[in-house]
Amino acid sequence: MRREQDREPEVQSITSAPAPRSEDLAHRQKVYLIQMGIRVVAFLATVATWGRVPMWLSIVFVVGAVVLPYTAVLFANSPKVTRGSATGVEARQLGAAPPHKNLPGGTT
């Protein structure tokens, strides 16, 4: 019984907390929209260059337009890397609170 009381309490650091859900969602949406924008450009480049440039270049644009939706979904669904963790955080004991009369705005 005494051993559990002798252990140092684990101190949580705010820098080791994961990013907020809204921030993670915004990042995923941004990545997805950028990749879909690149896909639209690749598709339009295919239409604009078909028969006017070497065939291999048009085929590269086609492959990009076909493969990008798959990769966009994969990257958008992958979790964002969490924030780094702090090192060297020490547990501290808080002292007793000062009497109410010693606090600013307190009665004397």
How many whole angstroms separate alpha carbon 72 and alpha carbon 36?
7
pTM score, whole prediction: 0.57
Torsion of CA 39, 41, 47, 49, to 10 degrees: -120
Question: Where do the structural domains in the chain lie, given as residue ranges?
Answer: 41-79
Per-residue pLDDT tens digits of the chain, which is 108 residues long: 555 556 666 766 666 667 788 888 888 899 999 999 999 999 999 999 999 999 999 999 999 999 999 998 888 888 765 555 444 445 566 666 666 666 666 555
